[in-house]
Structure 1
Amino acid sequence: MSGPAPEDTDRHAAKMAKKKAARDKIMATKTDQKGLIIVHTGKGKGKSSAAFGMIFRCIAHGMKCAVVQFIKGGMSTGERDLILSKFSDICAFHTMGEGFTWETQDKSRDIEMAQAAWAKAKELIIDPSNKMVLLDEINIAIRYDYVAIDEVVAFLRDNKPPMTHVVLTGRNAHGDLIELADLVTEMELIKHPFRAGIKAQQGVEF
């Protein structure tokens, strides 16, 4: 099978060189650094998974980080097991929730646990040695009014160290949080195996 014609190769090379020059020009203007407020929301799968990917990236770079789980405390996850067994020296991991609210069926207990999680989160965020803090499923706690959105927004706006990244996950992120954030990703659900009768599986969901 013959390769592309020489003129096609030359045209492609010229096109790519032009794109690279434009890209290099744009990248040269991006010189600022700051600690980002990052929100992962939406009905699609992957919000926490993507956030943990950033936590593991921090670990790989030797950057101190921390995780606070607001809701998923009732279940073991591969991420938690790995961090606690291998990386607890560089990544603090606090499981504060006792499971999803419909499992505990105790609103006062859920509120108490969410408030404790938020108190721990604030402690970790204001410690400038933590380069990233993941608040896993905090959006659900905010949605149920277990944690006040006004308090979360005010704290992140006024107290977060300038170079600390904070990642907040969960469905239905509040509009005020989205407005405050530097980076917002909405996971869109297109197809999910649960709808076909397939249960959550190890290595995929947890």
Structure 2
Amino acid sequence: WRMGVLLPYVASLVALTIIFGNLFGPQYGLVNDVLGVLGISPIDWQASTFGSHVAIASMVNWRWTGYNALIVLAAMQAIPREVHEAALVDGASALRRFFSITLPMLKPTLIFVIVTSTIGGLQIFTEPKLFEPSGGSGGGAEHQYQTVVLYLYQSAFQGLDLGYASAIAWVLFLIVIAVAGLNFWLTRR
């Protein structure tokens, strides 16, 4: 079961993006077929802003949920049983043990997972780059799912404006540091 949860993380990101691109295909995608069975009209996932965000978010979540769950599971298994047994003897309910023992002991792991997920979310590149079916520049026809890293790539390697791309990279670095610091501060309270 643990290997099955981790499998999306191990699989090739390009292969997963192609599979999800076909699942969310505007004409022959499985998701639109299911929506059609439910009586909902098909959605053009690449052209719609909300639809493209849902499709790309599902790709990212598919890939990273198992990895983060495995880290949290390992931290949960590291909690000593004696602490839970002592609380049970003292009459603590399962809900009380969760909020008073499990959650506080998972706090460092949760901080790690939140900070690394936030940094990873700010650095998304491959999913929107390969989601465009025509293999265009990425980000959609109206840049509806263009990320900062994809914009950096386009500025540097398609627009050949390396100075501007370097400035984008530094701003992204500062944003990542600020957001990571904010996440760390919020979760430490």
**TM-score when normalising by structure 2:** 0.26
Which structure is richer in relative contact order (CA contacts within 8 A, separation 6 or more)?
Answer: 1
**Which structure has greater strand proportion?**
1
